[in-house]
Structure 1
C-alpha cells in the first residue's frame, strides 16, 4: 500500500515541476489523489478500510512529496542551481510569506543582494536581479509578461471564477491583452487630459493648504504649538484627489475624515494580497472565506455604487472617467454590464494605485526636508524666487503649476525621494512567455528558464553604489543637478525606475509628478515646518527622525506608512489680506 503512495507523491511532484499550481490542482494533488490511491488499494487488498491505514498513507504521501521537492530544489539538477541564495528561500516560498507579514521585504531583498551579489535566488523558482542592463530585456518593449505573483494579488484567480483571467490592467499576464487595454489609459493620460486633471489637483492642493493653515493657528486645546499629523493630512488629500479623478468626487476626507471607513478598509485589505502573491494557488481559497475577504468586498461594493452614480451623472467635469469612457465620438461595443465592470475595476485601480503611494511620497519628502535644513532652505529659496508674488485676495503666495517643471532643485528633491522611497519597492515581477522555453537577458548572458519568475527590486537597485554614489542611502538632491554640481556624484539614470519601465510602466506617471510638484511647492512656500519638538535640534537628532520614520515603512507591495510624521507648522499667509 505504501508503495502506491510513494509513487503518487513522486508523480505529483513531477506534475508541479512543469505546471503552475492552482487551488484545484493543489487540492487534487494534496487531498484527492492520495485518498483515491488509498481507497483503491485498501479495497483491492483487504476490503477493510482502517483509519490508521489511511492516516499512515497520507503521512507517507506528504513526507515523500516534501522530500522529493526539497531534494530537487537544492540539487544541482534544478534550473536555478547555479544562482546563490539562502537555503530556506531555495526550498520554499514560506520565507517570503513570513518576511511579507513583517513588511520587511524591501530590506530583506536588499540585504540578500549585499551578501550574494546582483543575482539572488529568492524562491524555489524566482530570481531577484539588481543590474541596470537587465531592465530593458525584462521590463522593456520586448520584455516578458507579468509573473505568477499577479495571480496571487488578483481578487478572483484566473481561469476559475474570473473567466477573462484578470481583474484590471495591472494584473494582466498576457502582453497582447495588456497592449489593448493600455491604449485607453494612454489616451486618458495624454497632454490634453493632464491639463484637466491639473485643475483638480490644484483645487485640492489649495484645500489642503487652507486646512493646514487652520491647524497651524487652532487646536483642540487652543495651543498653537500642538503637533499636526502631517502624514494624515496628505493621505486625506491624496484620497480626495483620486476620488475626484476616478468618480468626479466621492471622498471628502479632508473635510469629513474617513467617516465611511473606505480608506481604512483599503489599507487593512492590502496585507492579504501581499501574502498571497507568494503562494498564488491559495488565492481562491482565502478570498472565498467571508471574514478574510470582507474588506475587499466593502471596497468593491463602494466601487460599484460610485461607478453607477458617475455613469448616471451628467457632469461637465473632465475627470478620468470622462477621458476613458465619455470622450465625444468614441464608441464601444461593450455591453452595459461589461462597461460597468471595466469602470469599477479601473476606478478602484486608480484610487489604490494613486492615493497611498502619493501620500507616502509626500510624507517622505517632507520628513527628509525637515531633517536637512540645508536642503529645505535651498528649496525654499528657489520657490521664493520663482513665486515672489502674493495674491491680493487671499494673501497666499501664487503658485503657477506650469512653472514647476522648470525648477531644478524642486525636481531634484522629488527625484531623490522617489529614488529612496519608490512606490513599488520590491516586486516588479516578470516571467517568460509560456511555451517560449525561457529568455536570455541580452548581453548579461543571464538565462531565465520557463517556469521561473524574475524580479527587479527598485529599493535595492536605487541604493546600489554602482549607480548612485557616494552615500547611496543619503538624501542628496544635488546628485540630480546638471551644470557641475553633479560631477562629484555617480547618478546613473538608467538604473532609476520609480514608476517601473517599458509598456507596463505607471500610466499616471506624469500626473503623479505634477501632483507632487504642486503640493510640495505649495506647502514649502506657504508654511514654516519643523519636526515636532526639533525647532532647535542639531543634525544628529534631525537625521534620527528621518531614520525612525524610514525604518517604520512596511513593504505591502507598495509602501505603507508606519510612524506618524508629527510637525510644528506656522502659516506664512499675509494676515492683512483676504
Structure 2
C-alpha cells in the first residue's frame, strides 16, 4: 500500500465512523426517550418526545394555544410536549403546581426576559422563590389595588381622551381597528400611572416612538428563546447578525431599554431640582422606597429602572388583549351586549355611575364582571404553558406520579375551557355561566393572571383599566363589528395578541344623570 493511501485510511475511517456514531447515538436516544424515559408513557407528538425542536417550532408558529387544545382533545389531560416536559390540562393541578407552598420552582424558560443589566432578577424572571418573595414585598404596596385606586383619576383622563377620539371617528363614520385603539389606551394609561403623562398614542392616533412595533418584533424573538434549551440561546442571540428579523428584535430591545431608562433619568433631574413634588405616580413611589428603605432593602436606582422597564415590556399588551377580547366577544354576542348595555343604563338612571365611572361603581355591575371574566376565560392574555420543576422527591399531579426535576406546566388557554368545570358550552362566550351554582369552583380554575405567589404583579392595574373603560365605551357608543362574518386574528407569542377587530362606532343618545 502506498504511503498516500496509508495516510488516507485513518481519514476515511473517521469520515465513516463519525456519522455511524451519530446515527447509533441518535437511535439509542430515540429508543430511550420513547421506551425507557420516565415520561415515555405519556402521549404526544412523536417528535416532541425526542427533541425540544418540536416545541420551539410550535412556539415560533404563534399558535401554541390552539395546538395545545387540539393535542389535549386528542391525547387527554397529560401531553408530552418535549422530552422532559408535559403540559397538563387538569384544573385541579393549578393549586398543586402553582400554590405558594407547592415547592415547585420556575424553570429556565423565563430567563430570556431578564435584563442583563439588572442587579436582581425582576419578579417575573426570578427563579429563587425566597428571593422573589423578599424583593416583591418591597414594591407590593405600589401595585396594590388601594394604591391604583388613588391614581384612578389618571386612568379617567385616558378614558376621556379615548371617548373624545371615538366621538370624532363616529361623527366621520370611520371604521376603526378596536385592537389598535385599545392598545394605545393601555399604553397611555401606563404612561400616566408610572410617569405622570401619557405617551401620546391616543392624542396622535399612532404608535408613539414605535414602541408597539418594537414590542411586536421583540416578544416573538424572546418567546422562541424561552422555548429553546439554555445552551442554544447564545446561538439565537448571535443569529441576529444573519437574520434581519432577529437583528431588528435586538435593536427593539435596546429601544425599549433606552426609553424606560430615559423616563427614570428625567425624574432624577426633577428630584435634583426640587420639582418632583407634583409627580404623584408609581415611579415617584419607587423613588420614595429607594430614599426611605433603599439601604436597608438594597433597592437602588437600578431597581427603579427595572420597574420602569417592566412597565414598558408587559404593561400594555396583556391588558389590551384582555379588553379587546371582551369587546370582541360582546360584539359577536348580541344578547350579551344588549344585557350589559341595559345594566349600565339602569345604573345610570339610578344615579349609581359618575361621569367618570369609578372602580367601586364598576365592580357593582354584576353582569359587567361576568363579561370581563368570560372574555378573559376564552382569551387569556398569556396563552402558553408556564413550566415549573417538580420538587425534590417527586409529586402526584392529575393522578400521575412525576419524578423530581420534570418540567410540568398549565396553559390558561387550555384549562379555562375545561368542560368538566365550565360546562358543555365552555368554548362559547356565555357570561351567564358566572351566575351558576359552581361559580366559585370556576373562579378557582381561572389562571389568566397566573397563580400563587407568582400571580401577575400588574393584575390590579389591568383590572382597573378594563372595569372603567368597557362600561364607559358602552355607555357612550353603539359598537358593532364592521363585518360580523369576519373573525379576528390572533398571534400568540407569550402575549396572545388580537388584531383586525374592525369596528363601526355610533354615538348613543346620552342618558347620563349620575353625580359629577
TM-score by length of 2: 0.87
**Mapping of 1:244-263 within 5 angstroms?**
244-249=192-197, 251-256=199-204, 257-263=206-212
Is 1:270 paired with 2:206? no
Is 1:236 paired with 2:193? no
Question: Are the equivalent residues in 2 in contact too, given 1:93–1:123 (CA < 8 A)?
Answer: yes
CA distance in 1, matches of 2:336, 2:142: 35
- Give 1:430 shift: 1.0
Q: 2:281 aligns with which of 301, 319, 331?
A: 319
The alignment covers a number of residue pairs equal to 492
CA distance in 1, matches of 2:11, 2:297: 55
- Give 1:155 shift: 5.1
CA distance in 2, matches of 1:322, 1:448: 46
Is 1:438 paired with 2:394? yes
Q: Which residue of 2 aligns with 1:30?
A: none
Change over 3 Å in CA distance of 1:489–1:451 after alignment to 2: closer
Change over 3 Å in CA distance of 1:411–1:574 after alignment to 2: closer
Q: 2:387 aligns with which of 394, 418, 429?
A: 429
Q: Which residue of 1 aligns with 2:108?
A: 148
- Give 1:131 shift: 1.4
Change over 3 Å in CA distance of 1:50–1:458 after alignment to 2: same
**Mapping of 1:338-487 within 5 angstroms?**
339-388=300-349, 399-433=357-391, 436-441=392-397, 444-481=398-435, 486=436
Change over 3 Å in CA distance of 1:49–1:214 after alignment to 2: farther
Q: Deviations over 1:420-453 (max 9, x none)?
A: 01121222221135xx243344xx4433323321
Q: Which residue of 2 aligns with 1:25?
A: none
Question: 53-62 vs 306-315, which deviates more?
Answer: 53-62
Change over 3 Å in CA distance of 1:251–1:389 after alignment to 2: farther
Question: Are the equivalent residues in 2 in contact too, given 1:148–1:431 (CA < 8 A)?
Answer: no
Question: Are the equivalent residues in 1 in contact too, given 2:88–2:408 (CA < 8 A)?
Answer: yes
- Give 1:353 shift: 2.0
Question: Are the equivalent residues in 1 in contact too, given 2:256–2:312 (CA < 8 A)?
Answer: no
Gaps of 5+ in 2: 1-5, 242-246, 271-275
- Give 1:565 shift: 1.2
CA distance in 2, matches of 1:149, 1:115: 26
Is 1:74 paired with 2:34? yes
Q: 2:133 aligns with which of 165, 168, 179?
A: 179
CA distance in 1, matches of 2:11, 2:112: 36
- Give 1:340 shift: 3.2
CA distance in 2, matches of 1:119, 1:324: 42
SS in 1 for 2:419: coil
Change over 3 Å in CA distance of 1:90–1:168 after alignment to 2: same
SS in 2 for 1:261: helix
TM-score by length of 1: 0.78
CA distance in 2, matches of 1:431, 1:515: 34
Question: Are the equivalent residues in 2 in contact too, given 1:479–1:491 (CA < 8 A)?
Answer: no
Is 1:101 paired with 2:57? no
Change over 3 Å in CA distance of 1:398–1:78 after alignment to 2: closer
Aligned alpha-carbon RMSD (Å): 3.0
Q: 1:299 aligns with which of 214, 239, 256?
A: 256
CA distance in 1, matches of 2:343, 2:317: 28
Is 1:308 paired with 2:308? no
CA distance in 2, matches of 1:356, 1:62: 44
Q: 1:555 aligns with which of 492, 508, 511?
A: 492
SS in 1 for 2:87: strand
- Give 1:192 shift: 3.5
CA distance in 2, matches of 1:302, 1:553: 27
Question: Are the equivalent residues in 2 in contact too, given 1:269–1:296 (CA < 8 A)?
Answer: yes
**Mapping of 1:73-152 within 5 angstroms?**
73-75=33-35, 77-143=36-102, 144-152=104-112
Change over 3 Å in CA distance of 1:385–1:86 after alignment to 2: same
Question: 250-259 vs 119-128, which deviates more?
Answer: 250-259
Q: Which has the higher contact order (CA 8 A, sep 6+)?
A: 2
CA distance in 1, matches of 2:407, 2:255: 32
Gaps of 5+ in 1: 1-45, 157-161, 219-223, 391-395, 534-541
SS in 2 for 1:142: coil
